[in-house]
Amino acid sequence: MKKIPAYFLLIITACNQPEQKQEPVMPPMAVKTDSAKTKLKNLAFDSKTDLVCGMPVKAGVEDTAHYKGKVYGFCAKECKEEFLKDPQQYLTAK
């Protein structure tokens, strides 16, 4: 019987091992301390209500529009889009 060198057995053993997948290490994410919603709460709007639906701005603002140097808050993107179709209509009704 022939002797098999030890290093040969080591190679065979290593080749028969199932491949271990390493999970990628994700870098830590930066924590934002001032979110977009917080910034919207701190804005001073030129109207106390959503000019399209009448909802009070203090109840929550999801979007804003700038018109003639003023900032208007809206409860939803749809209200903002409606306002931008004819802003003067909503401002005269104010």
Close Cβ partners of 11 (under 8 Å, ≥ 6 residues apart) = none
pLDDT tens digits for range 6-60: 555 555 555 555 666 666 666 666 555 556 666 666 678 889 999 999 999 888 8
The predicted pLDDT at position 45 comes to 87
Spatial CA neighbour of 62 closest among 47, 50, 75: 75
Please tell me the pTM assigned to this model.
0.57
37 CB neighbour count, 10 Å cutoff: 11
Separation CA 13–CA 48 (nearest Å): 75
Tokens standing for 17?
A: 């091992």
* Better-predicted residue by pLDDT, 27 or 64: 64
- pLDDT above 90: residue 79: yes
